[in-house]
Amino acid sequence: MGRVEVRYRDWRIGAASHYAQRWVDRNFSLDYTLKSLEKTLTGATRTQVRQARTVLKTHAHDVLTDLIALIDRYDPDQPAPDVSEAMLGILTRHHQDLRPAVATVVTDLTGFLSDRSAQVLTAQHRRWHDRQDWELINPAATAC
């Protein structure tokens, strides 16, 4: 989570890295909650939590794939001001696609968890679901 200010030789890599970090930061708390639960569970419930984390990881891979495909369309020598809007669109679209799958998993899991664990997961899911921004956790060094 610590950031070092970096200037990339290819502005496209810096832009993709910046928006990939926004994806990670927005999903970090939910994934960390699931990871913490996974460590305490066994059997089928642990497998369900692992599958939920796999859904998050698959979407992260898809986001990165789409960001790379997007930057490939731009000239490496000519920074494009519209790239930020396009990258935010990718993040938003994937997050919207991810929301129903995560909601289903959370609903299914809460029936198998202790009351306390179910409350923690439900609260974390609500924060994740309702969040509207793509802010960085540590925005101190955001140069691309």
The per-residue pLDDT for 4 is 60
When pLDDT is averaged across residues 51-71 and rounded to a whole number, the result is 95
Out of 3-7, 31-35, 55-59, which region has the weakest mean confidence (pLDDT)? 3-7
Percentage above 90 pLDDT, the chain? 71
> Which residues form the domain of 61?
11-130
From residue 114, alpha-carbon distances to 22, 38, 40, 48 in Å are 32, 13, 11, 15
Q: How many domains does the chain have?
A: 1
Q: Has residue 143 been placed in a domain?
A: no
Task: Spell out a b/e string for 111-139, using b for 16 or more CB atoms within 10 Å of the CB, else e.
Answer: eebeeebbeebeebbeebeeeeebebeee
| 24-54 residue pLDDT tens | 999 999 999 999 999 999 998 899 899 889 9
Q: Say yes or no to pLDDT of 65 above 80.
A: yes
Cα 92 from Cα 97, distance rounded (Å): 9
**How does DSSP classify residue 111?**
T
